[in-house]
Each structure stands twice: as C-alpha cells, then as structure tokens.
C-alpha cells in the first residue's frame, strides 16, 4: 500500500478519498470535511496492481472485484473525484519510469495502424455486443454518439433528436431538392441518422459499417419503415466504397481510423463527394496537442481507437484539398450524454449481468464514468467540421444552421419509450 499511499497523498486535494486496505487499515486523503468516497481492497496485491500503473490497474482491479466502492457512492464518484484532482494537478496519472512510458507511447502509436482486417476486428470487438445490451442504456433510436443538450435538463431522447437536427442543418439539405441527392453515412451505427435524413428530406442513403449486427439491424429498420429501396446499409470498409455522393456524414467514425490514416480517409471522402457537396465530420477531439489513447481503453474498449487533435484533422484536410467551411467545438454535451448512459446502465445491472457477467458490467461502468470525466474536467470535447470542395456550397454566414436546426427540432417530439421502461 506504501506506493499507492504516496501517490494519493500527493494527488487528492479536492474532496476526500478513504481507502481500506485488505488488512483493515484505513488511509484518508484530501479534505477531511468533504463527503468521503470510500473504497476497499479485497486482497493483498490489489493496491500494488493499481499503483504500478494506475491508468490500467484501477480499471482492472474494479472489474475483477479487487477494488470495491462502498455505498452510497459508486465507481463513477471515485473516478470523477480522482481524475478531477489529476487534471487540476497538470495532467493524467502516469506510470512510473521513463522506459515504461516510452514503451506505452510506442504501443499506442502502433495500435493506430488500422489496415482492413484489423479495422474490422477492432470494430466488431466493441459494436457486436448483443442488441439487447445497447437497448438497456441508449435512447430508442440507438444513437451511440454525443447528444446535443440545448438545455442540460432535457431528456436524452430530446437531446439525440436535436443532435440529428443540428447535423442535418449543417448538411444544408432542402425538402424537395434533396430527394434527388445521395448521401453516404460512414460508420452508420444502427441506421438512425440515415433514416432520419431520409424521413425529413427524402434523400437516398447508403450507410456503411464494419459491424455485422449493426448493418443487419439498420436494414431491418429500413425494411420496416418501407424505405429499403432508398435507405440501404452495407458491411463494407469505407475505403472500398465507389460512386459519387452529394453529402457525406461521418459521426463518431474518425475516432476508429487512427492518425496514420487521416490523410487516406480525407482523400477517399474527397474523391467520393460531388464538387458542390458538403461533408460533416462529427468526432470526439482533444483540447490540446496530439497524444495517445490510454492503455485500458485500448485493451478493453476501443482497440485501434484514437481521439484526434484539431491540428491533426486540419492538417489532413489541407493536404487532401478540402476547404473548411465551418468548425464548432461542443464542450459539455458528451458529459451529459455519458452521465445518462451510466445511470441507465446501472439501473439495468441485473439484466446486463445476465446477458454477460458481472465483470463486463463493471468494465462498462468504469468506461462510461472515465469517459464522462474526460468531457467534464479533462481534455476532451466534440468537433463538428463542415468541409467542402467549393466555397460557394454554403451561404456566406452560418445563420442558416441555427434556423434550420430549430425548424427540424420542432418537427419531432421526444419519445417516452425509455423513460417508461426505466
């Protein structure tokens, strides 16, 4: 416990963390007047497992039941407390030793090389969990990216509708005129955005993904809606798509591309887009310079994943002959989204454990809580980048975006499906 004790004494200033070691000895850190978050180690080696590399050790210890958070608090409270202090002290918690940090950096960079076979395996690792699993915490439309909270008090369902309305507005689609257009949705998820855009504008949609069950389910939805002739989903790598499209959407996709492939990605999309077309890239982004993906996330959640810095995206767009028409930085929206996903997943602990096991449930809790803190007090935001090949593809001012987003948002009522289910 001595190594972890040394780290926590230097780290925790805001709030209070109380640790009970396996032998019953109690250690307290931070402000003694604050409401304490209490954790307990269940075996002799647990504290050392955390201390030798906290970025992966804490998550593994919690997943394996070696680290237990005592009620009334839970793992989200612990993660938010520890990482709030870590971020205020100048950055993430780092493992000891320059050699280990160098090896981790090299491994993280190598993990971003996503050739076709590896890219397919990486996507399947995360997205081919059962449909029932995602239904337990996502909104009815299965939007698995940042929701847009015009008001933090809004429901997740309302915020996801507003996210789609904002994206549609930035694509500058017009009812009637869009019916003759084709849209490519790269990383189409369960088909919600493509179906939304077809429903409101009649646009023809091709969605592509490397997740087999997502593609099957999206096609089932299109069939049920009676639009399978106009909205289609294919299991295909974006690099193998052919043809010409008037609009391209990329929502939560580029995080899986990897920095070495950004140039390839934007060159391919530039090739696919019509000269007067518009592309909208929606991605998680770093507030600072380029970095690496932490070891725990690479190993358990998103192998091959990488959150880009704005500088990396802009440089790749410049090299591939794009012109940037608009950039918006969306700051706290994903924190609110993740907090709601965490709450819904936690309410369905029994169902998730029955589908898989307690370890996967705890893994998912740790992932959602850790991601939330990155947007609440860490260095993550969301970027919207609107890119064009001709600058006259969009109006001179961005007033049209707000007006169209408001018009579209007013057309859809937020469903009460999930609220009733919970």
pLDDT number for residue 120:
53
What interhelical angle do 333-347 and 358-376 show, nearest 10? Answer: 160
Q: Which of 42, 69, 88 is the last residue of a domain?
A: 88
98 domain-assigned: no
Distances in whole angstroms, Cα of residue 28 to Cα of each of 2, 13, 21: 13, 11, 11
Same domain, 29 and 170: no
70, 142: one domain = no
Asked whether residue 162 falls in the same domain as residue 291, the answer is yes
Residues 83, 172 share a domain: no
- Answer whether residue 101 is part of any domain: no
The pLDDT of residue 55? 83
Residue 334 sits in the same domain as residue 406: yes
**Do 364 and 267 fall into the same domain?**
yes
Task: Give the CATH number for residue 357.
Answer: 3.40.50.150
**pLDDT per residue as tens, the chain (422 positions):** 989 999 999 999 999 999 999 999 999 999 999 999 999 999 999 999 999 988 899 999 999 999 999 999 999 999 999 999 998 866 555 555 555 555 454 555 555 565 655 555 555 445 567 889 999 999 999 999 999 999 999 999 999 999 999 999 999 998 888 889 999 999 999 999 999 999 999 999 999 999 999 999 999 999 999 999 999 999 999 999 999 999 999 999 999 998 999 999 999 999 999 999 999 999 999 999 999 888 888 889 888 889 999 999 999 999 999 999 999 999 999 999 999 999 999 999 999 999 999 999 999 999 999 999 999 999 999 999 999 999 999 999 999 999 999 999 999 988 764 444 44
Examine residue 50 and state whether it is found in any structural domain, yes or no: yes
Q: What is the DSSP letter of 387?
A: E
E strand spans, 268-406? 273-286, 323-330, 380-388
Say yes or no: 68 and 198 in one domain. Answer: no
The answer to whether residue 94 sits within a structural domain is no
> Tokens for 190?
């369960």
The answer to whether residue 23 is domain-embedded is: yes
Asked whether residue 96 is domain-assigned, the answer is: no
C-alpha closest to that of 100 among 56, 46, 45, 48: 56
Same domain, 77 and 191: no
Structure tokens belonging to residue 21: 């070691």
SS (H, E, C) 77-133: HHHHHHHHHHHHCCCCCCCCCHHHHHHHHHHHHHHCCCCHHHHHHHHHHHHCCCHHH
Q: Which of 68, 88, 108 is the last residue of a domain?
A: 88
Q: Which domain holds residue 141?
A: 116-421
Task: Specify whether the CB–CB gap between 378 and 87 falls below 8 A.
Answer: yes
Number of domains in the chain: 2
Task: Give the model's pLDDT for residue 294.
Answer: 87
- Separation between Cα atoms, residue 199 and residue 206, nearest integer Å: 14
The answer to whether the CB of 256 falls within 8 A of the CB of 122 is yes
Q: Specify the pLDDT at position 98.
A: 59
What's the pTM? Answer: 0.90
- The domain boundary, picked from 88, 107, 137, lies at 88
111 within a domain of the structure (yes/no): no
In a domain, 109, yes or no: no
Q: Are residues 46 and 150 in the same domain?
A: no
């Amino acid at each position: 416990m001595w190594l972890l004790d040394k780290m926590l004494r230097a780290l925790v200033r805001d709030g209070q963390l109380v640790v009970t070691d396996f032998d019953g000895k109690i250690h307290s850190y931070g402000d003694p007047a604050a409401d304490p978050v209490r954790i307990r180690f269940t075996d002799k080696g647990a504290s050392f497992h955390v201390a030798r590399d906290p970025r992966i050790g804490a998550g593994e210890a919690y997943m394996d039941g070696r680290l237990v958070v005592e009620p009334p608090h839970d793992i989200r409270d612990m993660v938010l407390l520890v990482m709030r202090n870590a971020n205020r002290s100048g950055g993430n918690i780092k493992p000891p030793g320059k050699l280990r940090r160098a090896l981790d950096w090299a491994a993280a960079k190598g993990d971003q090389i996503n050739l076709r076979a590896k890219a397919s395996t990486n996507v399947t690792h995360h997205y081919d969990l059962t449909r029932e699993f995602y239904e337990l915490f996502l909104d009815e439309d299965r939007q698995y990216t940042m929701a847009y909270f015009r008001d933090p008090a809004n429901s997740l369902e309302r915020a996801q509708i507003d996210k789609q309305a904002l994206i549609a507005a930035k694509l500058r689609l017009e009812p009637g005129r869009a019916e003759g257009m084709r849209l490519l949705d790269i990383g189409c998820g369960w088909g919600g955005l493509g179906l939304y855009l077809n429903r409101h504008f009649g646009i023809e949609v091709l969605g592509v993904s490397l997740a087999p069950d997502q593609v099957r389910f999206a096609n089932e939805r299109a069939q049920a809606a009676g639009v399978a002739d106009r909205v289609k989903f294919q299991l295909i790598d974006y690099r193998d798509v052919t043809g010409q499209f008037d609009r391209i959407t990329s929502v939560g996709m580029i995080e899986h591309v990897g920095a070495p492939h950004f140039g390839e990605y934007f060159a391919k999309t530039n090739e696919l887009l019509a000269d007067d077309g518009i592309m909208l890239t929606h991605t998680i982004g770093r507030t600072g310079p380029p970095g690496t993906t932490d070891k725990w996330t690479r190993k358990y959640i998103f192998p091959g994943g990488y959150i880009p810095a704005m500088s990396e995206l802009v440089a790749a767009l410049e090299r591939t002959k794009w012109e940037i028409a608009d950039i918006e930085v969306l700051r706290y929206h994903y924190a609110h989204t993740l907090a709601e996903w965490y709450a819904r997943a936690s309410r369905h602990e029994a169902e998730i454990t029955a589908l898989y096991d307690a370890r996967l449930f705890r893994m998912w809790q740790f992932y959602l809580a850790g991601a939330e803190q990155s947007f609440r007090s860490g260095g993550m935001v969301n970027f919207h980048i609107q890119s064009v090949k001709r600058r006259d593809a969009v109006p001179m001012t961005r007033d049209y975006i707000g007006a169209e987003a408001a018009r579209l948002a007013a057309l859809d009522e937020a469903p009460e499906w999930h609220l009733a289910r919970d």
